[in-house]
Structure 1
Amino acid sequence: MSIVDPQEPAMIVQPPDPESATGHAAEMYAGDVADVGFVLSHTRAMAINPEAHQAFESLIRAVVPSIGLRVYELATLAAARAIGSPHCLLMHGRKTLRAGLLDEDQLARIARDGGEAGLAEADLAVMSFAERLSRDPEQMTDADAERLREAGFSDRQIVDIALAAGARNFFSRVLQALAVPVDDVPDLSPDLTDALLSSTR
């Protein structure tokens, strides 16, 4: 059985063949197959430069320990929502749900309106910062970081929240620039999928 989604549209760039990929590209493909049963379009696109993907993963591994997975995913979802990135909203919505960081109702409300999900002030501060970085970075001032400080984040955590949101801008915008097809992501209800995609319409 093919490990590429048979319904997957062609891309303008030509990824390595999953059946003959080696090294980190092969690891990327194998990770998708183990997780969702096929190789996702965005993985195939990034596998064209596996060294860049490894560097991205190293950046994320350097960021998460100080802020924790929940804060990382909140910053990621907020940035992806601001950018209008369907790939990252769907995949990180799935990751957040499967990790038990948010329930389906909270995730849907975050996706639709950003700040109306009964979240703590610290969570809202993270999301606001990530959204502003993604929409209006040239307008940011010390006040944006100060809100994070007032919510209890350290200097290292403030920097890592900025890195998490900035990394999402990098990844999401590369996929948009290459017009990478959006896959049907398993384990998401139709209602949650619709909510996650609401900001991309």
Structure 2
Amino acid sequence: MSFLPFPEPDDATLAGFAAQRDELGFVMNLTRLWSYQPGLKDGLFALVDSVVKEHDLDFRTRAVLITAMASTLGDSYCSVAWGTKLAGESSAEHAAAVLTGDDAQLSPAEVALATWARQVTRDPNATAAKDLEPLRQAGWTDRQIFGLTVFVALRLAFSTVNDALGVRPDAAYHELAPASVLDALPTGRPLDEA
């Protein structure tokens, strides 16, 4: 499930596992990995949550940004997790389109978000001032564009740790993810077998 053996969880970590099992029906492989230092994950997501609140990033916006970022990175874990969430928020075809970079099914505002997330992920040094214009035209303020960029960068950091340490997407996604989302996944780590 990862290159590192999962550590023996302490009581607080076991309580977190139980809460995740109640919410999702399983404990995610990445949650087990981050039990090496759960406070780091908690701190990272507290920071992510502060950006979300400060810049009014609704669920669909976050789902488009993360799905576009993860698929561009080749991160199959966040791609399947957030592609599944995006499918539930919109449709499986919509989520698959974001995963594959086919923007024809996206609104102009979603195209701007997905394009920006892909650019930030692919090569942040290649961005140009003109690349912000579609975000501004979609109604994002300069302050919010800063927040969108910080959000993508923080999620990129989280994905990078998971990917580098070989964490495989959970077997549960064989059942949870729509077929079109599974078909659209990047060639990252394969899903665990059931």
Counterparts of 1:27 and 1:163, CA distance in 2: 30
**What amino acid maps onto 1:55 in structure 2?**
G
Counterparts of 1:149 and 1:60, CA distance in 2: 22
Counterparts of 1:191 and 1:122, CA distance in 2: 23
Please show how residues 135-150 of structure 1 align to structure 2 within 5 Å: 135-150=122-137
**What amino acid maps onto 2:87 in structure 1?**
L
Question: 1:112·1:199 contact (CA, 8 Å) conserved in 2?
Answer: no
Please show how residues 76-115 of structure 1 align to structure 2 within 5 Å: 76-98=66-88, 100=89, 102-115=90-103
Q: Is residue 49 of structure 1 aligned with residue 49 of structure 2? A: no
Please show how residues 187-198 of structure 1 align to structure 2 within 5 Å: 187-195=176-184, 197-198=185-186
Please show how residues 16-55 of structure 1 align to structure 2 within 5 Å: 16-17=7-8, 20-23=9-12, 25-55=13-43
1:198 positional shift: 3.9
Q: 43-52 or 32-41, which moves further after superposition?
A: 32-41
Alignment CA distance shift 1:140-1:28 (3 Å): farther
Counterparts of 2:62 and 2:178, CA distance in 1: 23
Please show how residues 67-82 of structure 1 align to structure 2 within 5 Å: 67-82=57-72
Alignment CA distance shift 1:106-1:187 (3 Å): same
Q: What count of residue pairs does the alignment treat as equivalent?
A: 185
Question: 1:111·1:199 contact (CA, 8 Å) conserved in 2?
Answer: no
- Structure 2 gaps, min length 5: 190-194
Question: 2:74·2:187 contact (CA, 8 Å) conserved in 1?
Answer: yes
**What amino acid maps onto 1:120 in structure 2?**
S
1:58 positional shift: 0.7
- Matched residue SS, 2:166: coil
Counterparts of 1:159 and 1:106, CA distance in 2: 26
Per the normalisation by structure 2, the TM-score is: 0.85
1:22 positional shift: 2.5
Counterparts of 1:200 and 1:116, CA distance in 2: 24
What is the RMSD computed on CA atoms of the aligned residues?
2.0
Equivalent position of 1:12 in the other structure: 3
Alignment CA distance shift 1:128-1:14 (3 Å): same
Equivalent position of 1:63 in the other structure: 51
1:27 positional shift: 4.5
1:47 positional shift: 1.7
Q: Deviations over 1:58-116 (max 9, x none)?
A: 12211223221111111111100110101101111222233x2x211211222223312
Q: Deviations over 1:25-65 (max 9, x none)?
A: 33542233123322221111112111110112112211223
- Structure 1 gaps, min length 5: 1-8
Counterparts of 2:16 and 2:104, CA distance in 1: 35
